[in-house]
Structure 1
Amino acid sequence: MDADREQDTQQRAGYRRSAGSPRGEARRRELLDRVTDDLAVNGLVDFSLRRAAKAAGATHKVLLYHFDGADDLLKQAIQQLRDRRTDKALAAAAEEPARRTLSARVRALWPALTGTEARVLDQAIGLAVFDPVRYADFGAGASRQYLPILESLCPEGWAERRKLEVAEMVLGVLRGFLIDVRTTGDPEAVSAGFEALMRALDREEAAEE
């Protein structure tokens, strides 16, 4: 990706960006959808402007017309993958009646978090660890997006501080489970840990009764 970044710097001035017209925005969304679909299948390894152009059925010049280089395109595609996963998780959690427990709602969204986007988004977190300045949005941005969702699953009567604390715990633990699935290949161990988290959430909720 570094080679693409350098090439972008040299060439960007030669291409004008999409001005945000309806037609230009529609084309940008079409290109982004195609690149995002490619990322979902092939991951971030060896991502480049050349590969993105091939996936989009366009040239790198066309991509540079609509996006501010390879990093910008990658960030927007990662955000789109994250949005897809968030939409699925919210839909799954919404199917749980409000009277159900917090653990039941977290259990309902777990399959959505382990879907097709999970592998690529785990790789994005790895990039954030490797280069926190360049890829800060891949780490902190994900937390900012997911925390409000997890807070919304908490009982309404809880104080906002308590909701945040529990949401932070759930996010950290689930993120660890996702990484364990990728690195250890031991789903049974992850399943055991997940059940322990469910019991912990039940105890947290029961403390108010």
Structure 2
Amino acid sequence: MQPEDSARRAELLDKIVAYARRHGLADVSLRPLAAAVGSSPRVLLYFFGSKEKLVREVVAYTRAEQVATLAPELNAAAVDRLWAWLSDNDNVTRLFYESYALSLRDDPGPWAGFGAASVREWLPHLLPLSARLLPGVPAETGATLILAMLRGLLMDRLATGDTERVDAAVALFENLLTAEPPA
């Protein structure tokens, strides 16, 4: 691939990710997608190989973007920062849940393995936070709890639009994480 091809491919990927955030990918067809990003189906196939590979790359890109929001030095404030980023990016979060749900189907197609990969990618980043905030709890168990709480709260927020109630629940969760354990 020539350098100009790499630049064009990266530009198209950015546009496709932006499109996916607004419209999702569940029912995407190459022709309307190509038109929306200023390309053609043939060019998309040249750069991405197939519709399935394109979808896989988009969902992998958005998973990596989410994980990159985690600070190297995690603490209770990191939960707050992470929540702020996730809850300010509803379109990213909708795309995540769409991809996660599609990965659970009997025939997940390009979404195969998305849910499991997402958990595998997040847990290592949450292990230090879990160990620090939940002493005495196995780190992987605590990291699983933190991940499940954040994802559940995000799903509730997206489903209901009740940001005040859900944000209050996040604040309560953060307080519980930082509370002194009972003696």
Superposition deviation, residue 191 in structure 1: 2.3
The size of the alignment, in residue pairs, is 179
* Structure 2 residue 97 is the aligned partner of structure 1 residue 122: yes
Normalised TM-score (structure 2):
0.81
SS of the aligned residue for 2:49 comes to: coil
Cα deviation digits, residues 161-199 of structure 1 (max 9, x gap): 822111111111111111111212222332232233223
44-53 vs 65-74, which deviates more? 44-53
Matched residue, 1:108? 81
SS of the aligned residue for 1:86 comes to: helix
Superposition deviation, residue 133 in structure 1: 4.0
In structure 2, the gaps of 5 or more residues are: none
Identity %: 32
Superposition deviation, residue 156 in structure 1: 6.1
* Structure 2 residue 63 is the aligned partner of structure 1 residue 82: yes
Residue 151 and residue 39 in structure 1: after superposition, are their counterparts in 2 closer, same or farther (change >3 A)? same
Superposition deviation, residue 128 in structure 1: 1.8
Alignment root-mean-square deviation, CA = 2.8
Residue 181 and residue 38 in structure 1: after superposition, are their counterparts in 2 closer, same or farther (change >3 A)? same
Matched residue, 1:70? 51
Superposition deviation, residue 71 in structure 1: 1.6
* Structure 2 residue 10 is the aligned partner of structure 1 residue 37: no
Query: C-alpha separation between the residues in 2 aligned to 1:76 and 1:207?
Result: 43
Larger Rg: 1
Normalised TM-score (structure 1):
0.72
Superposition deviation, residue 80 in structure 1: 1.6
Residue 67 and residue 131 in structure 1: after superposition, are their counterparts in 2 closer, same or farther (change >3 A)? farther
Superposition deviation, residue 53 in structure 1: 1.0
Amino acid at match of 2:123: L
